[in-house]
Amino acid sequence: MDKQMIIDKIQEEKIIAIVRGLAKDKLIPTAEALYAGGIRLMEITYSDDPKVPDSITGDCIQALVAHFGDKMLIGAGTVLTCEQVRLTKAMGGTFIISPNADSEVIKETCAQGLVSIPGALTPTEAVAATKDGADFVKLFPVCSLGTEYVKAIKAPLSNMKLLAVGGIDENNIRDYMKSGVCGFGIGSNIIKKDLINDGNFAAITTLAEKYVAATKGN
């Protein structure tokens, strides 16, 4: 799948499920539960704990890519270094998400042919990231400023593709769509560790279905 097709898929599907710190044996069952609920995009985050090697995240990305092929697109999150970008590419990941807008990471992502989704909050950060080659800008943490801030950002930057991340739930997701974002990153509101640890993957599927339906206005 080429880069433009991935960009289109993100805009079409809207929800990227954020998976952080999940045990490897829970990874495929959780992903299958998300897929059954209609989610087609997953972000596997790198750990900020120096004791957790990046290779663990790389292995998780590779396992998911091997399992799903093009049925579910897998990317990496909390990407802070160019080395992590290259590892993600080697493991078959298709998009790079960061909490910040690092010029070198954005440019390396573009060089590797991956979709670039850096994090930003101010117009200055968002425009700078776009100039560096970002395909989307992740407004993070969006919940700190709310939908009126998103509308204010979109007024002068109407062509910028924005993803809302941080505090998105099934009650406010429609409001953020109306404010002008084209997609979302959603973590613990869907990836509930207590349900996963209990093996209640059917409940994860139900949550995924609710969020997917909310983006479609059902």
Give the largest Cα separation in the chain, rounded.
Answer: 47
What is the rounded (10 degree) CA torsion for 66, 70, 72, 76? 70
Of 113, 85, 83, whose CA–CA distance to 2 is shortest? 113
Q: How far is it, in rounded angstroms, from Cα 97 to Cα 136?
A: 9
Look up residue 161 and give its two tokens.
């593709």
Cβ atoms of residues 144 and 166 within 8 Å = yes
Sign of CA dihedral 90, 20, 100, 41: positive
Q: Catalytic pick from 14, 89, 138, 161?
A: 138
Say whether 116 sits in a helix, a strand or coil.
strand
Look up residue 49 and give its two tokens.
């704990």
138 counts as catalytic: yes
Count CA atoms within 13 Å of residue 5 on its CB side.
6
Q: Catalytic pick from 9, 43, 89, 161?
A: 43
108 counts as catalytic: no
Look up residue 73 and give its two tokens.
């697109």
Active site residues: 43, 138
